[in-house]
Chain A
Amino acid sequence: MKVLIPGALRSYTDCSQTDAGGATLAAALADLDRRYAGIRFRIVDEQDRIRRHVRIFINGEQVRELAQPLDVNDEIIIVQALSGG
């Protein structure tokens, strides 16, 4: 499935869009981390919680659980919340 990468994470992927496979969001992020080592921990903490300033959308709908099932045609958008100063 297609994955859109926010600017803050492109140092890992060198591109704004990539592909990942998996039957759940957890599996897709694990697949992403296999290809771009370290990227998952910047998005998800060690308790498997999506980090406070990160949002993940599947086909335009925000999801909060890594157990979210995915279909091969789904589109994942990872967004960094605009915060700080």
Chain B
Amino acid sequence: MMTTDAGTRPAGRRRSPAARARSRHPVVLVATRKGAWLFHGDADRKAWRADGPHFLGHVVSHLVLDPRDGRTLLAAAKTGHLGPTVFRSTDRGRTWKEAERPPAFAKAAAGEAGRAVDHTFWLAPGHADEPGTWYAGTSPQGLFRSQDGGVTWAPFSSINDDPQYHKWMGTVQDGTPDGPKLHSIIVDPRDREHLYFAMSGGGVHESVDGGQTFRPLLNGLAVVEGFDGSEPTFHDPHCIRLCPGNPDRLYQQNHCGIYRIDRPSDTWQRIGDNMPKRVGDIGFPMVVHPRDADAVWVFPMDGTSVWPRTSPEGKPAVYATRNAGKTWRRLDDGLPQRQAWWTVKRQAMTADAQDPVGLYFGTTSGELWMSGDEGRGWSCMAQHLPEIYAVEAAEL
């Protein structure tokens, strides 16, 4: 069992719940290609203290705090040489312990090749009524569940070994450059049996029976020209988010545009057509407002010609809508105005729950940016980090 001690704070007496509530502070969880950091902020979100690196040299795809207990952290990690694993901390990142059984596919029958998890990509806490339940999405695409707070993991639902889903997942060559991924695992806050997930590639899928069965949810989504849109294999959702302020509404940043869906409709509406044509509506992250279901933020990238996947024209900007996608506004005050060729990956942009909402994103060039006023102004929190894979905002 691999354990580490970050050793950033002396051990002390346990604080009372009231004392903990008084001392809660914002924290930004940053997962990178070379390790993880926690940035602890003051109440005004002005001053930030870096705690890290944790797991230096590990590829950390996601670092997530359990909102149900406010202290358990899970980190999805691997190194370039060794197999994947999950680390857990139950003391807000002071010490870490490796999962006893990380996500792994079932052993294949004799004579069959079988799949192996290359890395766990996405971590999602389960429903508020199911403390200890977590979901994980992997590369290659697999769905896993833990029911003991991330200590042991098991394949979840039938999709991992379902021939139809295997066909939709395609091969490793069909996915993103560092492997096809299962991501955007969403639990309906009103109904723990109602789940969504997405696959790059492989489309968007929904379950209404607690994950026993899933079905595609693809109507209205475009695919690359020349491919059959009725085939889930050709769909590439990049990031999907459910609105806390209206759980019937989801937004999606797709390889082919920005979309909104209002359930019970099963058809996605392309709202990215209203973006400026010179910027387009291609990108990776999708960020929803914690209360206002009409407000979302995206980070467009250059998806033209050979797909440079940089900021369009080297001028990074966030785009926001406050009317569910009818109109978009460019938000780049404080961001570099030229010759900035980084972009933001699908898990690397997020919002906190404060008022006004704080926004945070990490770049492929290792910069961490934040806005304390819902995107109107931006400031750089940190530079010179490794390539940033994921950013989450929470309170500790």
Q: Which residues of A contact B (CB under 8 A)?
A: 8-9, 11-12, 36-38, 41-49, 51, 53-54, 80-81, 83-84
Closest to A44 in B: B83
Q: Judge if B369 is at the interface, Cβ distance under 8 Å.
A: no
CB interface residues, B 33-92, toward A, < 8 Å: 79-83, 85
- Among B4, B81, B116, which residue has its beta carbon within 8 angstroms of that of A54? B81
A46–B107 touching, CB < 8 Å = yes
A-binding segment of B98-106, B179-187, B325-333: B98-106
CB of B1 closer than 8 Å to a CB of A: yes
B81 touches A81 (CB 8 A): yes
Chain B residues engaging chain A, CB cutoff 8 angstroms: 1-2, 4, 79-83, 85, 98-100, 102, 104-108, 113-117
What are 8 residue pairs bridging A and B, where the CB atoms are less than 8 Å apart in the complex? A11-B4, A37-B98, A43-B82, A45-B83, A46-B116, A47-B107, A53-B81, A54-B82
Knowing A12-B1, A38-B100, A53-B80, the reply to whether A47 touches B85 (Cβ < 8 A) is no
Determine the chain A residues whose CB is within 8 A of the CB of B82 once the complex forms: 8-9, 42-43, 51, 53-54, 80
Q: Are the C-beta atoms of A83 and B1 separated by less than 8 Å?
A: no
Q: Is the CB of A80 within 8 A of B81?
A: yes
Provide the main secondary structure of the chain A interface.
loop
Complexed CA–CA distance, A11 and B57 (Å): 13
CB distance from A53 to the nearest CB of B (A): 4
Q: What's the minimum C-beta distance from B318 to chain A, rounded to whole angstroms?
A: 30
Q: What A residues does B83 contact at CB under 8 A?
A: 41-45, 51
B-chain residues with CB within 8 Å of residue A12 when the two chains form the complex: 1-2
Number of A-B contacts defined by CB within 8 Å: 64
Residue of A nearest to B102 (CB): A41
Contact A49 B80 (CB under 8 A): no
Most central of B83, B116, B117 by chain A CB within 10 Å: B83
In Å, the complex CA distance between A81 and B79 comes to 12
Partner of A46, one of B79, B80, B85, B105: B105
Which A residue's beta carbon lies closest to that of B155? A46
State the CA gap A74–B3 with chains docked (Å): 30
Contacts of A42 in B (CB 8 A): 82-83, 85
From the candidates A11, A45, A48, A84, name the one contacting B81 in the complex (CB within 8 A).
A84
Min CB gap A75→B, angstroms: 21
Chain B residues within an 8 Å CB radius of A51? 81-83
Q: Residue of A at shortest CB range from B79?
A: A8
Q: What residues on B are CB-neighbors of A48 within 8 Å?
A: 107
Residues of B contacting A41 with CB < 8 Å?
83, 85, 102, 104
Determine the distance from Cα of A51 to Cα of B118 in the docked complex, in whole angstroms. Answer: 10
Q: How far is the CB of B90 from chain A (nearest CB, A)?
A: 17
* B107-A84 in contact (CB<8A): no
Residues of chain A within 8 A of B2, CB atoms compared: 11-12, 38
**Would you call B107 and A38 a contact (CB within 8 A)?**
no
How many angstroms between the C-alpha atoms of A11 and B77 in the bound complex?
Answer: 14
Residue of A41, A44, A45, A46 with most partner-chain B CB within 10 A? A46
In the complex formed, the residue of B with least CB distance to A39 is: B2
CB-based closest 7 A-B pairs: A84-B80, A45-B116, A46-B104, A47-B114, A42-B82, A80-B81, A53-B81
Nearest residue (CB) in B for A12 is: B2
Q: How far is the CA of A42 from the CA of B79 in the complex (A)?
A: 9
